[in-house]
A and B are shown apart, each in its own frame.
Chain A
């Protein structure tokens, strides 16, 4: 049984420095790995990213992150990624990493994801250049997530995104904004590649539990949703 801790949307800044640390100091008692589902900062500044790095570095378990839309706001996503990596936090964007926890191999593939909507209520690569660019961005990210997941050959496979792959976990958000909260293309990548668990954030007013059309459990770990420093999911796998 592998214990996966996860949280998203912590939106740290200097005013919140150290707030999560008391709970994180005991993380090793709860989990074998910590996943961060994006929106780690408020406005994507390097000062805020420094707080994130301080908060999540030197923990007793590996830390794996994706960035969220807030982390892109100041056009410093590359610098934020470098800063977090320097401090020992793995940052995925259309990429994957593997861990060995006891006798079990765990693969995590991650990407920010993007909007676009869900079955019957989604955008398409059609019409104005702006609309085509919007949805093409969605498709490109989902394709990279698909390739990263397909490249994993591990006992447990986890998909980590900021945007949601399903509408289930958006319940509580206004339906009018669902197309800005996630897209079905992420779920298609997840369902095609034997994923055991999909983790996302972004939907503060959403709900924790959902499932893809292919039966993969989805968990929205936006901090306002889980109501704690992190959530813990136990997944069977390996011998």
Chain B
């Protein structure tokens, strides 16, 4: 997880396993820094079947 602070803005990015964990990131930041504007760029990681395979020859 990456957290970048620019003035009154905090940008958080990275990947988590569920939408709930993504929401928790904003909740935690809001608790510790209620005055900051939060930009939650965290993504929920894709767990679909792969669409390709790599042949190592």
Please give the residue numbers on chain A whose beta carbons come within 8 Å of chain B beta carbons, in ascending order. 1, 3, 10-13, 15-16, 19-20, 23, 26, 30, 196-197, 204-205, 217, 219, 223-224, 226-236
In the complex, whether B26 has a CB less than 8 A from a CB of chain A is no
Chain A residues near B48: list those with CB within 8 A: 23, 228-229
A-B contact pairs, 26 of them (CB 8 A): A11-B16, A13-B17, A15-B18, A16-B17, A19-B18, A19-B47, A20-B47, A30-B50, A204-B15, A205-B2, A217-B56, A223-B15, A224-B15, A226-B50, A227-B45, A227-B46, A229-B47, A229-B50, A230-B50, A231-B50, A231-B54, A232-B52, A232-B53, A232-B54, A236-B56, A236-B57
What number of A-B contacts does a CB cutoff of 8 Å give? 71
Q: Which of chain A's residues have a CB closer than 8 A to the CB of B14?
A: 204-205, 224
Tell me how many residues of B have a C-beta within 8 Å of chain A.
22
Residue B55 is within 8 A (CB to CB) of chain A in the complex: yes
The interface residues of chain B lying within 8 Å CB-to-CB of A217 are 56
Contact B56 A232, beta carbon cutoff 8 Å: no
* A16-B18 contact given A23-B47, A23-B48, A223-B45, CB 8 Å threshold: yes
A19 touches B17 (CB 8 A): yes
